[in-house]
Amino acid sequence: MKKKSLLFFTMMLFGVSGKAESLSETIDGFFKPIVDNYLIPIIFWDPIKFLGIDLGADIPIVVIWLIFGAIYFTFRMKLINFRGFIHAVGLIKGDYDDPNDKGEVSHFQALTTALSATVGLGNIAGVAIAISIGGPGATFWMIVAGLLGMSAKFVECTLGVKYRKIDSDGEVSGGPMYYLRDGLSKYGMSRLGKGLAVLFAILCVGGSLGGGNMFQANQAYAQLSGQFPLLSGNGPIFGFILAILVGAVIIGGIKSIANVTEKIVPFMAVLYVGTALLIIIMNITQIGDVFFMIFKGAFSPEATFGGVIGVLIQGFRRAAFSNEAGVGSASIAHSAAKTNEPVSEGIVALLEPFIDTVVICTMTAIVLIITGFHDVQGVEGAQMTSQAFGSVFSWFPYLLVIAIFLFAFSTMISWSYYGLKSWEFLFGKSKLAEYSYKLLFLVFIIIGSSVKLGAVLDFSDMMILAMAFPNILGLLILSNEVRKDLDEYYEKLKTGLIKKFK
């Protein structure tokens, strides 16, 4: 019986492979009208241009919303992105860990789980696209956006822990769905809160199946088959194997996911950043010129880049897409942390945009500029980054393939958790809800590896970006209580009520 089932599934996979083109057209035909007629006009609407002001570049409303939130929270929280940095390092080292605190994972595991969802192809391909469009100056604004985004990440992850739910088995459920619903109800806005929570959950499920799943599987297969021709034409088989690997991890929930991410994320970061540092050290005499190009390009760019505004938007847009500060997704992972002090987890979370954008994205940008590939025409995305690194180390394209696979794999397992928690919020917590979502997620891995992603990719990306609309609105309303909690937390640190355990 098992042999027959396996034979049937194998035949089905090859059938999908043979009809991939037709399936791609069907999927694209379904999503394209939705993207073109509804999502793009809303998410990428330019209010500045609507007012009749031409700044030389489009400024999407979603980017304005993310920038506004990041700047507001930076000043409202008294520059927590800077003054909380050293304390954040102490927290992830475990200096303040209390074994009696409630939760499922450590501060460090929560951080690596959230990082695994953001550190990925955006750091490799996205930076190359931003610099090729906006020039070296986009790097400066990308760093500024990353630093500001640390404050938005702090606020959302503090609230994620504060409003989380812990069941009788100790399993945690948290994130924007809960602080939007329960937090806003405290201020007499229960209907608004419920509406925003449901909207966020729907968008998160869509984002998890698309950008957090299909896109990752598709790009991992594209990169591997490009380097290893033996895989060409075997997308469904690759997807099936990847689905088994992902399934083996996500079946165990957040603890299993965190156990994997705490190993993969540091390894990926050291592997990628270490190689970039080697290239920088080998070209250390050029580093002064590189920083001059970045600074000059930020404030006096060529007209072809859309002027200062065009370069600024490219930098901020890349940072927003990369670290997801303000999107709210990371707070779902951080809500599972073992702590009785919500603010402490918010402080841990502010390290994410720094690591993701200020460190990893900047390293990519510097290598692209040092090697001169920021000026190369006809090459873009991951290919540009691969060739830039490969021009120094011929073996790097093979290492990059491994990194991309690990990036994709870790992103998928983290987004499966985000999607599951949103799914359970919408349909209730039960074994049926849990396994139906996980099965759906694994099936989408196979589909993502088997078809060309056109409009469905744009659709899922926009769903992730759209999560920022309900999330930041809720954060703005709840920011006063976060500020109060922050002041009380630092008072406890000062008086010794919160003390080190190590």
Q: At what angle do helices 253-282 and 396-427 cross, to 10 degrees?
A: 150
User: What is the pTM (predicted TM-score) of this model?
Assistant: 0.87
Mean of per-residue pLDDT scores for the chain: 82
Listed residue (146, 145, 60, 137) closest to 308, CA to CA: 137
User: Tokens for 199?
Assistant: 């909207």
Q: Note the Cα 163 to chain centre separation in Å.
A: 22
For 45, residues 6+ apart whose C-beta sits below 8 A from its C-beta are 60, 61
Say whether pLDDT at 23 is over 70.
Answer: no
Residue with tokens 């698309």: 210
Task: Characterise 281 by phi-psi region: left (phi > 0), alpha (psi -120 to 50), beta (else).
Answer: alpha
Q: What is the CATH number for 300?
A: 1.20.1740.10
Q: Which helix (H) or strand (E) holds 151?
A: helix 137-162
Residue with tokens 């990082």: 115
Cα–Cα–Cα angle for 244, 249, 251, rounded to 5 degrees: 90
- Give the DSSP letter of residue 374: G
The pLDDT value recorded for residue 11 is 46
* One-letter amino acid for residue 180 of the chain: L
- The answer to whether the beta carbons of residues 221 and 235 sit under 8 Å apart is yes
Task: Kindly indicate the confidence band of residue 191, based on its pLDDT and cuts at 50, 70 and 90.
Answer: very high
Look at the chain and count its residues.
Answer: 502
Distance CA 365, CA 488 (A): 40
Say whether pLDDT at 227 is over 90.
Answer: no
Residue 3 lies in a domain: no
- The SS3 of residue 77 is coil
Listed residue (309, 323, 294) closest to 70, CA to CA: 323
Q: Is 2 exposed, middle or buried (0-12, 13-18, 19+ CB in 10 A)?
A: exposed
Residue 60 lies in a domain: yes
- Give the DSSP letter of residue 212: I
Between 475 and 12, the higher pLDDT residue: 475
Residues of the chain above pLDDT 70, percent: 88
Q: Tell me the pLDDT tens digit for each residue of 331-386.
A: 998 998 888 889 999 999 999 989 888 888 888 889 888 988 777 766 666 677 77
The pLDDT value recorded for residue 441 is 92
Say whether pLDDT at 266 is over 50.
Answer: yes
Say whether pLDDT at 4 is over 70.
Answer: no
User: For the chain, how far is it from start to end, CA to CA, in angstroms?
Assistant: 56
**How many other CB atoms are found less than 10 A from the CB of residue 484?**
10
Cα–Cα–Cα angle for 363, 321, 475, rounded to 5 degrees: 120
Between 79 and 227, the higher pLDDT residue: 79
Phi/psi at 163 (nearest 5 deg)? Answer: -110, 15
Give start and end residues of each alpha helix (H) in 51-136.
Answer: 61-76, 80-83, 85-93, 107-118, 121, 127-134
Residue 177 lies in a domain: yes
* Domain housing 167: 17-490
Q: Residue-wise over 144-158: b if at least 16 C-beta within 10 A, else e?
A: bbbbbbbbbbbbbbb
Residue 341 lies in a domain: yes
Say whether pLDDT at 56 is over 70.
Answer: no
Say whether pLDDT at 1 is over 50.
Answer: no
Phi/psi at 287 (nearest 5 deg)? Answer: -60, -35
Strands (DSSP E) found in 113-225:
165-166, 172-173
DSSP string covering 284-329: GGGHHHHHHHHHHHHHS--GGGTHHHHHHHHHHHHHHHHH-TTT-T
Q: Is 24 exposed, middle or buried (0-12, 13-18, 19+ CB in 10 A)?
A: middle
Query: Which of 95-104, 261-270, 346-355 is predicted most confidently?
Result: 346-355
Residue 500 lies in a domain: no
| List of long-range contacts for 219-228, beta carbons under 8 Å, 24+ apart | 219/121, 219/382, 219/404, 219/408, 220/404, 220/405, 220/408, 220/409, 220/449, 221/449, 223/382, 223/400, 223/401, 223/404, 223/405, 224/401, 224/405, 226/401, 227/397, 227/398, 227/401
- The answer to whether the beta carbons of residues 126 and 322 sit under 8 Å apart is yes
Listed residue (355, 282, 285, 275) closest to 322, CA to CA: 355
The pLDDT value recorded for residue 19 is 56
* One-letter amino acid for residue 338 of the chain: K
Listed residue (174, 178, 180, 246) closest to 217, CA to CA: 246
The pLDDT value recorded for residue 10 is 47
- What does the pLDDT average to over 453-468? 76
Residue 111 lies in a domain: yes
Say whether pLDDT at 7 is over 50.
Answer: no
Residue 11 lies in a domain: no
The pLDDT value recorded for residue 426 is 93
Query: Which of 230-234, 326-330, 373-377 is predicted most confidently?
Result: 326-330
Provide the number of structural domains found in the chain: 1
- The answer to whether the beta carbons of residues 357 and 121 sit under 8 Å apart is no
Say whether pLDDT at 481 is over 50.
Answer: yes
- What does the pLDDT average to over 84-110? 82
The pLDDT value recorded for residue 303 is 44
Q: Tell me the pLDDT tens digit for each residue of 369-383.
A: 898 877 776 666 667
Residue 12 lies in a domain: no
Least confident of 158-172, 304-318, 407-421: 304-318
CA torsion, points 433, 437, 438, 444, in degrees to nearest 10?
Answer: 170
Q: Which helix (H) or strand (E) holds 450?
A: helix 431-450
- The answer to whether the beta carbons of residues 57 and 307 sit under 8 Å apart is yes
- The answer to whether the beta carbons of residues 279 and 371 sit under 8 Å apart is yes
Report, in angstroms and rounded to the nearest whole number, the Rg of the chain calculated over CA atoms. Answer: 22
User: Tokens for 492?
Assistant: 């406890």
Say whether pLDDT at 302 is over 70.
Answer: no
